[in-house]
């Protein structure tokens, strides 16, 4: 089965939490804090794999998660880093953002790509010791890793792309000029998936892609062509094959114009690529007047025209020589530049929601849950830190604006205290 486009979900690992610990050893009366930091979460990394030419591995697995970082430990031991997860993909894979469709990265550069970074590990209580706060009983939590939905789109790495109506001899030509063994038969849509072949012409080597036959309306999704047109996006040269004998379709010139129109509808930039017109099946005979008409059209476009009989290899060496020479003049294979710009990390929202019922003021906010979870309310210094954060983040001011009076009760989730000016 050939799969060339999938949507997957990736999530990097969460950073480990910092540790609250104090050095306790024999003969050491004031050991001080020694809580270690949490480990970094694992990242999600795409790796180019030369041996793959399909995204079949993603048919049954669409979610990938890296390992979380371990929590810090006593004696200033840092938590273990989460293990990265590596996802092998074909070298021609283009990674897009699922929400916007914009290109994130093109794997054809042959390099590993970090698509989602792991979260940072939280600080242990060692970092919070000061001259006036010598026994901090709180630490920082690790941050979550990045999480994304991505589209993987395979665009084959081929120098030359074969296009044309079904049954014009594209697969036959590929089997003649390379070691590829595509299925060849005398009926439409024999080719159900793109085939690649490596062609060596004297000291020159290039790759050709045989694309399943196009039909009218392919750019709108008709037939098989729409699914596979993306595989000639990178091609530097297009070999446009047509049946010069008219054995199945009576007007070769009309066929050429229709295929050119389908390419234009799919991508005007692709339609502007250099083409070589290849009239196949000359061994079945052809109309010289129609060939002259095609020759005039090719001259007008600045294209070359070759007549061949692919099955018996007549005219094929001359065609391959022309292709090899043409490729030396053309620019390198197309690379897709990144379009997606990573959003800067959102600043933590320190907003609070305050409601009051009589003398009881209820304060809520997601960040307050984290603050409470790392506060030891039985420890004086930790409680001082809690109160200082409430004042620095504007909670006390918000309570005053809500009309709180001295002696009123403040309830923050499971914590209650009397408000004093």
In order along its 421 residues, the chain shows pLDDT tens digits of 567 889 999 999 999 999 999 988 777 777 789 999 999 999 999 999 988 878 989 988 999 999 999 999 999 999 999 999 999 999 999 999 999 999 999 999 999 999 999 999 999 999 988 877 788 888 888 999 999 999 999 888 889 999 888 888 888 898 888 876 655 555 555 555 677 788 887 778 898 988 776 655 544 554 445 566 777 888 999 999 999 998 878 899 999 998 898 888 888 888 899 999 999 999 999 999 999 999 999 999 999 999 999 989 999 999 999 999 999 999 888 888 888 877 766 677 788 899 988 889 999 998 888 888 778 787 777 788 888 889 999 999 999 999 989 889 999 998 898 888 6
In CATH terms, 160-329 corresponds, of 3.20.20.80, 2.40.160.20, 3.40.50.300, 1.20.120.160, to 3.40.50.300
Counted residue by residue, the chain has a size of: 421
- Give one DSSP letter per residue of 38-107, joined into a string: PPPPPPEEEEEETT--S-GGGSS--EEEPPPPPPPBTTTBPPPPPPPEEEEEETTEEEEETTT--EEEEG
Inter-axis angle of helices 252-266 and 288-301, to 10 degrees? Answer: 30
Structure tokens given for 45: 């990394």
Distance CA 32, CA 14 (A): 28
* CA angle in degrees (0–180, nearest 5) for 334-335-339: 130
Distance CA 145, CA 120 (A): 8
Architecture per CATH, domain 5-154, reads as Distorted Sandwich (2.70)
Q: What pLDDT score does 234 carry?
A: 86
Structure tokens given for 331: 């620019």
How do residues 335-372 score in pLDDT, each as one tens digit? Answer: 888 888 777 666 777 888 999 888 899 999 988 888 88
Structure tokens given for 57: 């591995």
Contact, 142 vs 193, CB < 8 A?
Answer: no
Distance CA 276, CA 239 (A): 5
**Residue boundaries of the structural domains of the chain:** 5-154, 160-329, 353-418
Q: What pLDDT score does 341 carry?
A: 78
Q: Span 353-418: which CATH code?
A: 3.30.300.350
Distance CA 239, CA 261 (A): 15
Distance CA 147, CA 99 (A): 13
Contact, 219 vs 265, CB < 8 A?
Answer: yes
- With 0.85 as the threshold, say if the pTM is over it: no
């Amino acid at each position: 089965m050939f799969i060339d486009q999938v949507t997957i979900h990736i999530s990097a690992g969460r950073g480990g939490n910092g540790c609250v610990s104090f050095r306790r050893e024999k003969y050491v009366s004031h050991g001080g804090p020694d809580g270690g930091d949490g480990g970094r979460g694992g990242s999600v990394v795409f790796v180019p794999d030369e041996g793959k030419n399909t995204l079949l591995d993603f048919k049954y697995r669409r979610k990938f998660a890296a390992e979380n970082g371990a929590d810090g430990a006593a004696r200033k031991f840092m938590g273990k880093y989460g293990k990265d997860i590596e996802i092998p993909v074909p070298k021609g894979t283009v990674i897009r953002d699922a929400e916007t469709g914009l290109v994130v990265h093109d794997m054809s550069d042959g390099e590993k790509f970090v698509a989602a970074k792991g979260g940072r590990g939280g600080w242990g209580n060692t970092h919070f010791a000061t001259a006036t706060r010598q026994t901090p009983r709180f630490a920082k939590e690790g941050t979550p890793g990045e999480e994304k939905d991505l589209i993987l789109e395979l665009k084959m790495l081929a120098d030359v792309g074969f296009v044309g109506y079904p049954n014009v001899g594209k697969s036959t030509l590929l089997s003649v000029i390379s070691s590829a063994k595509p299925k060849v038969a005398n009926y439409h849509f024999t080719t159900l998936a793109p085939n690649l072949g490596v062609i060596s012409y004297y000291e020159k080597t290039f790759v050709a892609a045989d694309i399943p036959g196009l039909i009218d309306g392919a750019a709108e999704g008709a037939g098989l062509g729409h699914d596979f047109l993306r595989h000639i996006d990178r091609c530097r040269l297009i070999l446009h094959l047509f049946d010069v004998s008219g054995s199945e379709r009576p007007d070769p010139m009309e066929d050429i114009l229709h295929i050119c129109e389908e390419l234009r509808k799919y991508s005007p930039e692709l339609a502007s690529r250099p083409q070589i017109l290849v009239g196949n099946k000359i061994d079945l005979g052809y109309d010289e007047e129609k060939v002259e008409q095609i020759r005039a059209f090719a001259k007008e476009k600045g294209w070359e025209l070759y007549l061949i009989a692919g099955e018996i290899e007549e005219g094929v060496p001359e065609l391959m020589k022309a292709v090899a020479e043409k490729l030396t003049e053309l620019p390198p294979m197309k690379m897709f530049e990144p379009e997606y710009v990573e959003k800067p990390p959102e600043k933590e929202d320190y907003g609070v929601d305050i409601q009051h019922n009589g003398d009881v003021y209820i304060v809520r906010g997601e960040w307050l849950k984290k603050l409470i979870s790392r506060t030891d309310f039985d420890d004086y210094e930790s409680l001082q830190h809690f109160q200082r954060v409430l004042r620095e983040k504007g909670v006390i001011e918000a309570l005053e604006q809500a009309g709180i009076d001295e002696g009123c009760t403040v309830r923050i989730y499971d914590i209650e205290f009397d408000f004093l000016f």
